[in-house]
Structure 1
Amino acid sequence: MKMSKQFPLNALRVFEAAARLGSFTKAGEELGMTQTAVSYQIKLIEQNVGEPLFLRRPRQVTLTEVGQRLAPKVTEGFAMLQDAVASARDDAQTALLISSTATFASQWFARNIGTFQLAHPNIAVRLAASDSMVDYSKEGVDVGIRSGTGSWPGLVSHRLMTVEFTPMLSPALAATIGGVNEPRDLLKLRIIGPQDPWWPLWFRAAGVEDPDLDGRPATRLGGQSFEAGAAIAGQGVAILTPDFYADDVALGRLYQPFDLRCSDGHDYWLVYPHARRNVAKIRSFRDWILGEFERRNGIGAAAMTSPVAGEAYPLDSTD
C-alpha cells in the first residue's frame, strides 16, 4: 500500500516530545498518552519516512542519524506555529475593528477617537466607514455605529445620540436673497439632495405643505459630510444634523436659519454582538464612548436594549 507523504500533526508532536526528552515514557507523560500510543505515532512517521528515527534499547531510545536531522526542523516548525497562534491571539485582543456610518466617522470619530487611544494605548483602532449593514458573524467587526431604532437581532444596542435635522446654509448664500426670513424662502435657493426624506418632513413641520421637491434636480452627494461641504461652499441649502456642525456655525461658515429641528426616529447607536459583550476591548470601548456622550450631552448609558425585542437591562449585565 502506498503511504501518504503527509504526517498527522499529532504524530509530529509526539516525535518532537520524544526526541526532546529522549524517552517514549516521558513523552507520553507530557502529552497525556500511554507509551503504547507514543510508539504507534512514532511508527506512523517512520513508515512515511521509510527509515527508523529511533534506536530502541532497554529503558532508552536515541535518535538515529535521520532522526537527528529531522528533530530540529520539527521543533522549529512547532515554534513557528506557536508564534503564529500567539500573534493572532494578540491581534485579536488588541485590535478593535469599528464599523461606522460615514457621517458619524467623519464628524465625530475623527475628532474624538484620539482620546480613546490615549486612554487605551494597547488597543489599535481600525475604523471602517460605510453605510452598509455589517454581518457581525462573518466580517470580524467588533463594534459598530448604526443609525436606526436600536432593535437588531443578536446585538446589544446603546443609544448614543438623538439624530435631529434642520436646513443649514452659508451666511453668504442667505444674503443673496436678502436673508432667509421664513421657511419658504429656502425654496428660492438650490436644495442639496431634494429627494432626501428629511426634507418633506421638515417642511411639513414648518408649515410648508407644497415644497415641490420632486421637480428639482435629483442631486445626492453620497453622504451628509459632503453635502455639508457643498453648503459651506455656498452651493445650496443642505439638511443636516446640526450637532455635528457646531464648530462651522461658530466660525460663521454655516448658518441655521430656524430653531425648528425634526427627527424621524432613527438615532445613532453603539452595537456589538451579545455573545461578545464581555470581551475586554469591547467593554473598554463601550465604557469610553458612553462616557463621552454622557459627559457631553447627559445621555448614553441609560439608553440600552438587549437583542431580544428591545428588552431593557442593566449596563453591567454579565449574564
Structure 2
Amino acid sequence: MSDPLAGIPLASIRVFEAAARLNSFTRAAEELGMTQAAVSWQIKALEGRLGQSLFRRLPREVVPTESGERLSRAATEAMSLLRRALLDLTEADQAILSITTLATLATQWLAPRLGEFQLAHPELAVRLDTAAHLIDLSREGFDVGIRSGTGEWPGLESVEVMPSVFTPVCSPRLRDQLGLQTAEDLLKAPRIGLEKEWAVWFAAAGVAADGQAPSRLRADYQALEVASALGDQGVALASPILFARELAAGLLVQPVPLSVKLVPGYAYWLVWPEGRRRSPKIARFRDWILAAAAADPALRAARETAEAA
C-alpha cells in the first residue's frame, strides 16, 4: 500500500492547518508571513492532489468541508505534536554546552575554572570531552572546541584564547642535583619531549644542540611529560600558563626562564561551527572564556613574552 503522504509537501499541510483553524486565508497568510495568494495557491494544490474540496469559500470566510474538517483535526494535532517536539529539542540543545578540547588544557586550565562559568550560567550543563582525534564539531554534536593551531579550520570560526608557548620545567631537586642554571646546562640534562621541539627552544636560546643525546621520554600528552618531570625524571617543555599552579607552588621550577613558540603562529583557539556565533550558549561561553583568559596573570605574562619575541 502506497504512503498517502507521498508527494504532499509538509508546507501545504501547515498552510491548510492554519487556514482551517482561523477560517480565513487572509489571517492564515498573516500568521505564516505569506501572501493571501500564496495561501490560496497552496490550498488549491492540496485539493488537487487529494481530488476533493477542503473548504467552502464564503464571502467573508472559508469553512472546512466535511473532508476538510476531518483533515483539520488530524493536522492540528500533528502540528501541535511537531511544535512540541521541536521545542523540546531546542530547549534540550540550549540546556547543554558540549566542549571538546585538548586533554592537558582541560585538566590544567579549563576544568578548574568551569565552576565559575556554571555559577554564572546555572541553566547550562557542561559536557567536556578530551578525545585525542580531531573532532568534527557539527557531525559529532559538539558546540565548541579548543584547539592548538593557526586558527584556520574549514567550516569553523575561531578566536584566540591564549598563546602556545613552552618553557623548560623540572623539579627543584633535579635542578639542584644537576646544577641547572643556563641553557647550555640543559644540553647534558635528561630531557623529556620531542627533539625537534627542543631544537627550536635551544635555537631561540642561542645554543647549538647538534649531536646531543636524544630525549629520554616522549608521551602523547603534555601532562604526562610534566608528570615525569615532577618525578625527577628530567626536564620537560611545558606551557607556563597551563602549569602556573605547579610553578607558583614550587613543585616545578624554570631552570632557564625562556618561553618560546615552538611552532610559528600557533596558539590555543576557541572554535565553533560557521553560522552559530549568535547561539546564546556559545556566545556566553565565548565571552566567559575570553574574560577568564584576560584575568589570568600567567597568561598575560606569557602573551607579553610572545609579543616581545
Would you call these one fold, judging by a TM-score over 0.5? yes
Inter-partner Cα distance in structure 2 for 1:274 and 1:24: 38
Letter of the 1:191 counterpart: R
Q: Is the 8 A contact 1:108 1:244 kept in 2?
A: yes
Closer, same or farther: CA 274–9 of 1 in aligned 2, 3 Å: closer
Task: Please state how far the C-alpha of 1:247 moved relative to its aligned partner.
Answer: 2.2
Which residue does the alignment assign to 1:241? 239
Q: Does residue 253 of the first structure (1) align with residue 248 of the second (2)?
A: no
**1:246-299 per-position Cα deviation (integer Å, ceiling 9, x unaligned):** 322344533333333333343334455775555544443333222222223384
Closer, same or farther: CA 18–42 of 1 in aligned 2, 3 Å: farther
Closer, same or farther: CA 250–54 of 1 in aligned 2, 3 Å: closer
TM-score where L is the length of structure 1: 0.67
Structure 2 segments unaligned to the other structure (5+ residues): 305-309
Task: Please state how far the C-alpha of 1:165 moved relative to its aligned partner.
Answer: 1.9
Inter-partner Cα distance in structure 2 for 1:208 and 1:56: 92
TM-score where L is the length of structure 2: 0.69
Inter-partner Cα distance in structure 1 for 2:65 and 2:244: 75
Inter-partner Cα distance in structure 2 for 1:160 and 1:24: 53
Letter of the 1:249 counterpart: L
Which residue does the alignment assign to 2:114? 113
Kindly report which structure 2 residues correspond to 1:195-234, keeping only aligned pairs within 5 A, or say none. 195-204=194-203, 205=205, 207=207, 209-210=209-210, 212-214=212-214, 219-234=217-232
SS at match of 1:292: helix
Percent identical pairs in the alignment equals: 40
Inter-partner Cα distance in structure 2 for 1:36 and 1:245: 67
SS at match of 2:252: coil
SS at match of 1:289: helix
Q: Is the 8 A contact 2:187 2:209 kept in 1?
A: no
Q: Is the 8 A contact 1:166 1:261 kept in 2?
A: yes
Letter of the 1:286 counterpart: R
Which residue does the alignment assign to 1:191? 191
Letter of the 1:228 counterpart: V
SS at match of 1:160: strand
Letter of the 2:80 counterpart: A
**1:55-95 per-position Cα deviation (integer Å, ceiling 9, x unaligned):** 9597774553x766554332222112212333444456555
Kindly report which structure 2 residues correspond to 1:137-152, keeping only aligned pairs within 5 A, or say none. 142-149=143-150
Letter of the 1:75 counterpart: T
Kindly report which structure 2 residues correspond to 1:79-158, keeping only aligned pairs within 5 A, or say none. 79-90=80-91, 95-129=96-130, 142-149=143-150, 158=159
Q: Is the 8 A contact 1:156 1:273 kept in 2?
A: yes
Task: Please state how far the C-alpha of 1:222 moved relative to its aligned partner.
Answer: 1.0
Query: How many residues end up aligned between the 2 structures?
Result: 292
Letter of the 2:11 counterpart: N
Q: Is the 8 A contact 1:56 1:62 kept in 2?
A: yes
SS at match of 1:167: strand
Which residue does the alignment assign to 2:11? 10
Task: Please state how far the C-alpha of 1:109 moved relative to its aligned partner.
Answer: 0.7
Q: Does residue 43 of the first structure (1) align with residue 47 of the second (2)?
A: yes
Task: Please state how far the C-alpha of 1:136 moved relative to its aligned partner.
Answer: 6.8
SS at match of 1:231: helix
Inter-partner Cα distance in structure 1 for 2:20 and 2:163: 65
Closer, same or farther: CA 129–55 of 1 in aligned 2, 3 Å: closer
Inter-partner Cα distance in structure 2 for 1:117 and 1:42: 50
Task: Please state how far the C-alpha of 1:144 moved relative to its aligned partner.
Answer: 3.9
Task: Please state how far the C-alpha of 1:224 moved relative to its aligned partner.
Answer: 0.6
Task: Please state how far the C-alpha of 1:203 moved relative to its aligned partner.
Answer: 3.3
Closer, same or farther: CA 78–161 of 1 in aligned 2, 3 Å: same
RMSD: 4.3
**1:132-157 per-position Cα deviation (integer Å, ceiling 9, x unaligned):** 66667877655443334556788765
Inter-partner Cα distance in structure 1 for 2:86 and 2:140: 20
Closer, same or farther: CA 70–238 of 1 in aligned 2, 3 Å: same
Q: Is the 8 A contact 2:98 2:142 kept in 1?
A: yes
Inter-partner Cα distance in structure 1 for 2:252 and 2:135: 33
Inter-partner Cα distance in structure 1 for 2:29 and 2:200: 74
Inter-partner Cα distance in structure 2 for 1:55 and 1:181: 91
Letter of the 1:115 counterpart: E
Closer, same or farther: CA 291–25 of 1 in aligned 2, 3 Å: closer
Which residue does the alignment assign to 1:315? none
SS at match of 1:12: helix
Task: Please state how far the C-alpha of 1:45 moved relative to its aligned partner.
Answer: 5.8
SS at match of 2:192: coil
Deviates more, 1:83-92 or 1:237-246: 83-92
Which residue does the alignment assign to 1:263? 261
SS at match of 1:288: helix
